[in-house]
A = this chain, B = another copy of it.
Amino acid sequence: MEIKVVHQILEWNEDCSDEIKSELKEKKVCLVNVMGSPGAGKTSIITSIIKTMSEKFRIGVIEGDIAGQIDAERMQKLGVPVVQLNTDGACHIEAMAIQNMLPDFDLNSLDVIFVENIGNLVCPAEFNIGEAFRIALLSIPEGDDKVEKYPLMFQTTDALILNKYDMIEYFDFDEERVVRNAKDINPDIDIFRVSNKTGFGLDAFTTWLGNKIEEKINA
């Protein structure tokens, strides 16, 4: 019963996602889908991206949350256009929601929109939301078995950030296991070791990100 239902939603979702892609391609705006568990550091990474990249790119943010607007308030202080999406209980963002929100942005004055998806390693991976590419976060405290247990997330992402990397000495985390598992299911994945707290690895990641955004908006 449930499988049939999800299939219906997914087909409808794909249509919306394709429409968003066409619209954004025309406007030369790149949508980036940022995903990861609750507490993996999605908001903090996006905050760092805004701080270091907003001279080069005109950035907007869609903040997805089940409820509340804690993260959107953090973003707004950085002076970028932010729209909060409350899913009212739903565990993922769907393309229709993004499509409905695009008119809230002046697309002619943006290069990139980061969508912070709901904190969840499962459902968000199933739903394309018109993104040009995906970034998945896995924080060290979550453990090194997550790629095996939640494969779709890591199979469908363009980049994997191993976040809170400064904590690796305190946790029993086999980094090679994660890298091996991720490459097995996603040979082209780019993997970055980052500590958003200390700044470690942020340069390498934002360099990759800048190239990726340029490649997409000039495609």
In the complex, A124 Cα to B161 Cα: how many Å?
26
The copy count of this chain in the complex is: 2
Closest chain B residue, CB of each to CB of A124: B91
Q: Which of B5, B67, B119, B151 contacts A37 (CB 8 A)?
A: B119
Q: Is A150 an interface residue (CB 8 A)?
A: yes
Question: How far does the alpha carbon of A181 sit from the alpha carbon of B122 in the complex, in Å?
Answer: 26
Asked if B122 and A121 sit within 8 Å, CB to CB, the answer is: no
Q: Are B91 and A39 in contact (CB under 8 A)?
A: no
A9 within 8 A of B: yes
Which one of B70, B120, B149 lies within 8 Å of A148 (CB-CB)?
B70
Partner of A66, one of B90, B141, B149, B170: B149
Q: How far is the CB of A72 from chain B (nearest CB, A)?
A: 12
Complex contact B39–A89 (CB within 8 A): no
| CA–CA, A5 and B8, complex, Å | 10
Which residues of the other chain, B, contact A38 by a CB distance below 8 angstroms?
37, 121, 142-143, 146, 149-150
Are A70's CB and B145's CB within 8 A? yes
Chain A residues packing against B (C-beta within 8 Å)? 1-2, 5, 8-9, 12, 37-39, 65-68, 70, 89-91, 94, 118-123, 126, 139, 141-143, 145-146, 148-152, 164, 167, 170
A39-B142, A91-B120, A119-B121 given. 10 additional CB < 8 A pairs? A2-B9, A5-B8, A39-B139, A39-B141, A39-B143, A66-B150, A66-B151, A70-B145, A89-B152, A120-B122
